[in-house]
Structure 1
Amino acid sequence: MTADIRHIVFDIGRVLIHYDAEIPFSRIIPDPQERDWFFANVCTHDWNVEQDRGRTWEEAEDVLIAVYPDHEDSIRAFRKHWHEMVPHAYDGSVAIMKGFIDEGRDVTMLTNFASDTFRLAQEIFPFLTLPRGVTVSGDIGLIKPDVAIYDRHTKDFGLAPSATLFIDDSAANIAAARAYGWNAIHFTGADTLKEELGKYGLLA
């Protein structure tokens, strides 16, 4: 790689911290088929994404309860037990991020996250307060892979796109970042991340 990387941007979910909605719901809805139906039809991925885009949990719950009143308790359980969905950090990638910060490199974060649950995540995982700053989709009403969120992050933090390296677990988000002009690494684990960083001459 020939890029002169001066800015490193981390995604958060499934890059720095684990996320799995199944964890509390394996208890809340013990039957696997019923649970699969619930996630496929009620608290769906598309429904959850709207909270990442800025919709309040109150509105989100009301929308579903109006359609599925018999599932009110389970619907409300999603936000109530959200903290259980982020059970641990990925120590390897967190160590890499901290290493960059300790070296004095410019580290920021760009994440699809609801505003309130992101603040909760910072309380659970204090290392999320260490980078220079963060763009949270729920705060600004933009969401990856919309090119506008990469542009917003670039401008808000004064990044040079060609000198920016983005790390994300989503192939779609990586493709959008590259199309915008950033360098990008598709995260699949800390060991492969180290290998990819080495290609940029970056050693955490």
Structure 2
Amino acid sequence: MINTIIFDLGAVLIDWNPHYLYSKVFQEEEMRIFLETVCTPAWNEEQDGGRPLQEATDLLVAQFPEHEANIRLFYDRWAEMLQGEIPGMVELLQSIKASGKYKLYALTNWSAETFPIAQERFEFLGWFDGIVVSGVEKDRKPFASFYQTLLNRYSIQPDEALFIDDNLRNIKAAEQLGIHAIHFTHVDALKPQLIEYGIPVETV
């Protein structure tokens, strides 16, 4: 019996993507190369894990001085990477919350320094019974210790919880801890999967 639903935030409820900023700066191919070789996902994950933004920026500027101006844009104009809500997902979250049957939590890889920007912009972040932010904890998915922080803090039984994330790596990590998990791709695919777990959702 599922009594707890745990949501990832980025790419599940919130549309965050560096492309939204850097498409204003580069042509498509230049942007792709820059984000694959300079401001990479691996570099960004270290900030999610607690590395200070200034330290991260200085590190890249020293490594790629020719890209200094565009490196500094990453956090100077970070808010421009937040496009909005993932279509249909906030309505789904609201309907689940309105049922009153489930505890709702968020487990997110997110810098502690940028997360307050999202909190100000997205009212639904206040609907959760708790949010565990990687940058605050200085730990992150897919490490088991990060999931365990959520389980311990809110006394969640793994076999009574369902985790929703767009990253298959994170899904597999949750499953290894005995947490039920759904690999998110689209709201229309998610709804029937939730119904299979006995979670009533609007299917229209």
2:51 aligns with: 55
2:149 aligns with: 152
Distance 1:20 1:52 in 2: 14
**Is 32-41 or 151-160 further displaced after alignment?**
32-41
Give matches, 1:164-183, under 5 Å. Answer: 164-183=161-180
Cα offset, 1:130, TM superposition: 1.1
2:115 aligns with: 118
| Count, aligned residues | 200
Distance 2:128 2:189 in 1: 22
Distance 1:119 1:67 in 2: 29
> What root-mean-square deviation, in Å, do the aligned CA atoms of Structure 1 and Structure 2 show?
1.1
Cα offset, 1:37, TM superposition: 2.2
Runs of 4+ in 1 over 6 A off after TM superposition: none
Distance 1:143 1:156 in 2: 15
Distance 2:87 2:37 in 1: 34
In structure 2, the residue corresponding to 1:87 is in which secondary structure?
strand
Does residue 20 of structure 1 match 2:17? yes
Please give the per-residue CA displacement for 1:6-39, whole angstroms capped at 9, x wherever unaligned: 111000000001122111111122x333222211
TM-score of the two chains, using structure 1 as the length reference: 0.94
2:86 aligns with: 90
Which among 14, 31, 38 is matched to residue 35 of structure 1?
A: 31
In structure 2, the residue corresponding to 1:101 is in which secondary structure?
helix
Please give the per-residue CA displacement for 1:73-117, whole angstroms capped at 9, x wherever unaligned: 100101122111111102411111111222222101000001121
Flag structure 2 segments of 5+ consecutive residues without an equivalent: none
**Is 92-101 or 10-19 further displaced after alignment?**
92-101
Matched-pair contact (CA < 8 Å) for 2:53–2:113: no
- Letter of the aligned partner of 1:78 in structure 2? F
